[in-house]
Structure 1
Amino acid sequence: GFSIYLQNFSNYEQVYGSIGAVVVMLLWLFISAYLVLLGGALNVALTRRKPAIITTVVSSARAKL
């Protein structure tokens, strides 16, 4: 069985080169999507944290008055 495979598909560079390109492209898309989601999560976390910081600064300023 394996010898038939080797006889018919002996040109590995064409077969695995194109498959490798597809794998690299899918990996690039996965990493890009992950970075977009990570950026969104970071944006939400920073947005939720800002009001707490502003409230703390205002509260301490009022306490000094």
Structure 2
Amino acid sequence: ESQERMAVVVAPEDAEKFRALASKENLESTIVAQVKAEPRLKMTWNGKTIVDISREFLNSNGAEK
């Protein structure tokens, strides 16, 4: 049994078309994120920010250089 998960990045204007095509193939799809120019990873849950970290920190894997 495979528990694989896949992520696909599509342009915002193509998101609903992609979801319709996935549905036609009997695949579930959900929009889970937006790619933005700001170099930060931000996550929210129920309207609250739960993660807000810099790209620089992500690139370091948390280790000082």
With normalisation by structure 1, the TM-score equals: 0.22
Structure with higher Rg: it is: 1
Greater helix content: 1
